[in-house]
Amino acid sequence: MSNRWLPLALLCLAVQAHAQSPDSDRLTLLQLYDASRLNDPVMRSADYSHRAAQNEEAIGRGGLLPQLSLSSRYGKGGRTDGGTDASYVDSDDYQSNSVSLVAQQPIYDKGRWSAYQQGKARGQLGEVQYEVATQELFDRVAKAYFAVARVENELKLIAQQKAAIAGLVEQSQRLFDKGQGAITDVDEARARYDLVQAQEAENQAQRVAALRTLSGRGSLPLLEIEPMRELPPDTNPLSEEHDLPYWTALARDTSPELAARLAQVKVAETEAEAEKAGHYPTLSLTTQLTRRENSQYQEYSPRQDSYYVGLALDIPLYRGGATSASVRKATEALAGAQADADAQRQQLTEDVETAYAGVVAGYAKCRATQRAVESNQRALVSTEKGFQGGVRSTVDILDAQQRLFEARRDLLNAKLDMLQSYVDLHVHTGQMDRQVLSQVEALF
- Over the stretch 303-315, which tens digit does the pLDDT of each residue have? 778 888 888 888 8
pTM over 0.95: no
- Residues near 418 by Cβ (< 8 Å), separated by ≥ 6? 237, 358, 359, 362, 363, 365, 366
Rounded to the nearest angstrom, the gap between the alpha carbon of residue 81 and the centroid of all alpha carbons in its chain is: 71
- Contact status, residue 122 vs residue 267, Cβ threshold 8 Å: yes
Phi, psi of 292 (to 5 degrees): -120, 145
Taking a C-beta distance cutoff of 8 angstroms, is the pair 32, 217 a contact? yes
Angstrom CA distances, 66 to 5, 63, 111, 387, stand at 36, 8, 15, 95
**Mean pLDDT of all residues in 53-61:** 87
Q: Are 415 and 152 in contact (CB under 8 A)?
A: no
In the chain, % of residues over pLDDT 70 = 82
| β-pair type (67-77, 94-108) | antiparallel
β-pairing, 94-108 with 282-294?
A: antiparallel
Output the furthest CA–CA distance in the chain (Å, rounded).
139
pLDDT in tens, 318-331: 888 888 888 888 88
Beta strand 282-294 with 303-314 is antiparallel
- Do 403 and 161 meet the contact criterion of CB atoms below 8 Å apart? no
Where does residue 301 rank: exposed (0-12), middle (13-18), buried (19+ CB within 10 A)?
exposed
pLDDT value of residue 357: 92
CATH number listed for the domain at residues 7-39+109-280+316-443? 1.20.1600.10
d(CA 170, CA 195): 17
Domain boundaries, the chain: 7-39+109-280+316-443
**The one-letter amino acid at 180:** Q
> d(Cα 413, Cα 26) in Å, to the nearest integer?
21
| pLDDT mean over 186-205 | 76
pLDDT band (50, 70, 90) for residue 67:
confident
Q: How far is CA 352 from the centre of its chain?
A: 18
Model confidence at 83, pLDDT cuts 50, 70, 90, reads low
